[in-house]
Amino acid sequence: MNRPGTGRPGRDDAPDRLYTITRGRSRTGPDTPFDLVTLVVAESEPRAGMQSEHVAILELTRSPASVVEIAAELRLPVSITKVLLCDLLAAGRVSARHPRRPATTGPDILEQVLVGLRNL
């Protein structure tokens, strides 16, 4: 039998902890720049007195890390991680970058691929 707080972190066994670290917020607004694959990069070092989760995020994002990687490392739900990331973004402590998408393929390239496939 699991004692309270010894089960899966960030799950229903510790809802008060999640409420505390996000100051009661459980979701971000619809205009949040964060999705699962958004790369987050620290723009500053942690400072004294910062919330421990914010410090952990800044340390994790010294090199670019995706939102889902950060959530996994913190052992927190992605929704809660996004709230924490929004705090840091608003304070200018992190930046958000979406992975580069491949250039759109023009019709000429697609035609060449089709010809090549037919020749096989």
Tens of pLDDT, residue by residue over 60-100, are: 999 999 999 999 999 998 888 999 999 999 999 999 998 77
Task: Report the share of the chain in percent with pLDDT over 70.
Answer: 70
Return the pLDDT at 102. 60
Maximal C-alpha separation, the chain: 66
Measured distance CA(120)–CA(65) in Å, rounded? 41
Sheet holding 65-66, edge to edge: 65-66, 39-42, 94-97
Q: Say whether pLDDT at 57 is over 80.
A: yes
Q: Is the model more confident about 30 or about 92?
A: 92
> Which pTM value belongs to this model?
0.66
Return the pLDDT at 113. 77
